[in-house]
Every structure is written in structure tokens, then in C-alpha cells.
Amino acid sequence: MLIRLLTSALLAGAVAGLIAALLQLYFVQPVLLHAELYEGGELVHFGSASTVSAIQDLGGIDLVRDGLSVVFTMLVYTAYAMILLALMSQAETRGAAITARSGLIWGVAGFVVVHLAPGFSLAPEVPGVAAADVGLRQIWWFATVGLAGVALWLIAFAKNWLGWGAAVVLLLAPHVYGAPEPDVFTGPVPTEIGALFAARAFGVGLAVWVILGGFAGYFWTRLAEDDATTQTA
């Protein structure tokens, strides 16, 4: 079981992580690099006598930086795959069918837990915007992700209104409490760039989590079939 879980996670995480890295390099990284020009003062979008073009030369590919981004993204999604498959295996013992198709639903659930739930109150941010203390934001983020994970498990496997009601409370609690916010709003980055970054971060996150869930379910099922074939041969 452990070998099957690790193998499935490595395969699914590597594929999803590579796709995530490529999507981020093409869609997300240019927005970050553009924001950094405003953060460093190279561009000014208001209070300037001249009009600044919204289209900027952001440079080409940096093999070291972009290569490391690909490697670390694959590692991160491999870790996500291990968590996802551990939960899938537990669900399977409770009678849930784990397939590539059902894995898509697990992927959507992973996106909700890791991206959408915390992002509802603590949206993805570009460099140069006002933000609260990073330590407080990390604590709030981990708490929100943990509560959202428990909530979705209850929604899926609870058998009465008490469990479903508890799930709603867990989902709402961190947002009712409130995410850490800065004392004042400052920052030189145009709001259009911040909005585009948040939209693309969520879009890429959803796409990759669905891919991760699908591949996790596929490899989990495929390896189980291979094990069964080996035992009967």
C-alpha cells in the first residue's frame, strides 16, 4: 500500500508539477515581473508627466531561475499528491470509488482547500502591495486550509445534518474572524496588475489541481490493477 501510494504520488505530482510550472512561467511569471518594475520604481503609473505603456519588455528565459522554479514546483505538487492520495486511500476504505474521473472531483476539492478558501479573504498578492505581518498571514492561512480540509471531508462523508452544519461553520469561521490586514493601503503597483495576477493564480491553480486529481486517481487505479495481475499470474 505504501509503495503504491508513493509511486502514484511521484508520478502524478511530477506530471502535474511540470504542467503547473509551464503554465506559471507563461501566464503568471510575466505579471510578477511587471509588478516588480513598479515595486522597484522603474515604472510609475500615476503622478508622472509621461504615460507609461501597459506592455513592457520583461526579458527572456532565465535558465537558472526558471529551471529551479520547475524543479520546486514539481516537488510541491508531489507533496500535494501524497496528501491527496493518502486521503483517497482512506476514502476507498470507506467505500468510495477512486478512479481517474472521480480524481477530478478530488482535484477540485484540493483547489478549494488550498487556494479558494484562504484566497476568499487573503487574495494572491503581487510584489509591492501593502500587506500584514507575514507570520500572522501564514498562521491564518494554515488554519484556514486545515479547517477547509476538515469541512470538505465532512461534506463528503458525514451522514447527518450535524456533520454538514459543522462543515459550514468550519468554512466560515476563519473569514468571520478575519484575515490579517495592513493598517493602511499603499503600494505603487496598478490595481489592474494585481487583479490579473489573482485571476491567473486562481485559474492556473484550478487547472493544475484538476490535472493532479485526475492523474492521482489514474495511477492509483492502474497500479492496483497491475498488482492484482501480478498476484494472479
- For the beta carbon of residue 209, count every other beta carbon within 10 angstroms: 27
Question: Which H or E element spans position 105?
Answer: helix 100-111
pLDDT value of position 79 = 97
Give the predicted TM-score (pTM) of the model.
0.91
Integer Cα distance of 220 and 102 in angstroms: 12
Consecutive 10-residue averages of pLDDT for the chain (233 residues): 90 97 93 85 69 68 89 97 96 92 97 97 88 93 98 95 97 96 83 92 97 97 79 63
The pLDDT tens digits for 31-56 are 988 888 888 777 777 755 566 766 76
Confirm if 213 and 110 have CB atoms less than 8 A apart. Answer: yes
Helices (H), ranges, 99-190: 100-111, 117-119, 134-157, 161-177
The pLDDT tens digits for 77-116 are 999 999 999 999 999 998 899 999 999 999 999 999 999 9
Compute CA distances 95 → 98, 137, 180, 216, whole Å: 9, 37, 40, 18
Compute CA distances 182 → 41, 124, 134, 179, whole Å: 21, 14, 11, 10
Contacts of 63 (CB under 8 A, 6+ apart): none
| DSSP label of 6 | H
Contacts of 191 (CB under 8 A, 6+ apart): none
Integer Cα distance of 96 and 113 in angstroms: 20
Residue 148 cell numbers, joined:
477547509
